[in-house]
Amino acid sequence: MRIVAGAWKGRTLKSPTWDGLRPTSDRLRETLFNILGPSIQGARVLDGYAGTGAIGIEALSRGAAHVTFVEKDPRAVKLIEANLAALGAGATAKPVIIRAGLAEAVQRFGGEAFDVIVVDPPYGKDAAAEALAAVEGAAGGGTRVIVEHASRYPAPPEHGGLTLTRTVTAGDSALSFYEH
């Protein structure tokens, strides 16, 4: 895995050495950030089900002001820490890593809203709806929520005040974009 663009363009990220973690492909990350465009600059980003941290690290590389990574697997948390350390990301951005389930982490935020929320739950029939329910408390009026999901399981057209505005499919994966 490589960082697609920004300050750390071309830098390699460490990948998992165990089964069960499915990192977002470079191609799909590039598509995501091409759609988000310059809105990522200065944004507060939540990377839910962070895995390797590739989404949040790409956001930092492209100028996000702050990224909070949420991941419950301790092996993945160590992987995110290693990837951030290799880039020297903590020097300026001061990213936060929360080891917890997504719904639990959002409760800890106490209503704090993010500009961009990207969630990549394990693929499953109801995964997109469950991820949207988990982030409701962190999605303010101007928040864009993006859910990565299996393309064979369509994302709900709306959930908790969030409305589906666009879905982009690439192979078995899809990105669904939501706004209030």
Q: What are the pLDDT digits (tens) for 99-144?
A: 999 999 999 998 889 999 999 998 889 999 999 999 999 999 999 9
CATH of the domain at 121: 3.40.50.150
With beta carbons less than 8 A apart as the criterion, state whether 36 and 60 touch.
no
In a domain, 3, yes or no: no
Mean predicted confidence (pLDDT) in 3-27: 80
State the total domains in the chain.
1
Query: Per-residue pLDDT for 20 more than 70?
Result: no
User: Is 17 within a domain?
Assistant: no
Decide if 41 is inside a domain: yes
Q: Is residue 104 part of a domain?
A: yes
Whether 49 and 121 have beta carbons less than 8 Å apart is answered as yes
Boundaries of domain holding 111: 26-179
d(CA 90, CA 163) in angstroms, rounded, equals 34
String of b and e for 71-104 (b: at least 16 CB within 10 Å)? bebeebbebbbebbeebebeeebebebbbeebbe
pLDDT at 88 over 90: no
CB neighbourhood size of 42 (10 A): 11
Give domain status of residue 85, yes or no.
Answer: yes
In the predicted model, is pLDDT for residue 18 greater than 80? no
Looking at the DSSP bridge assignments, the partners of residue 164 are 178
- Any domain includes 111: yes
User: CA distances (Å), 63 to each of 28, 37, 91, 121, in order?
Assistant: 19, 11, 14, 24
In a domain? residue 21: no
Residues 6+ apart with CB under 8 A from 108: 98, 100
- Answer yes or no: is 9 within a domain: no
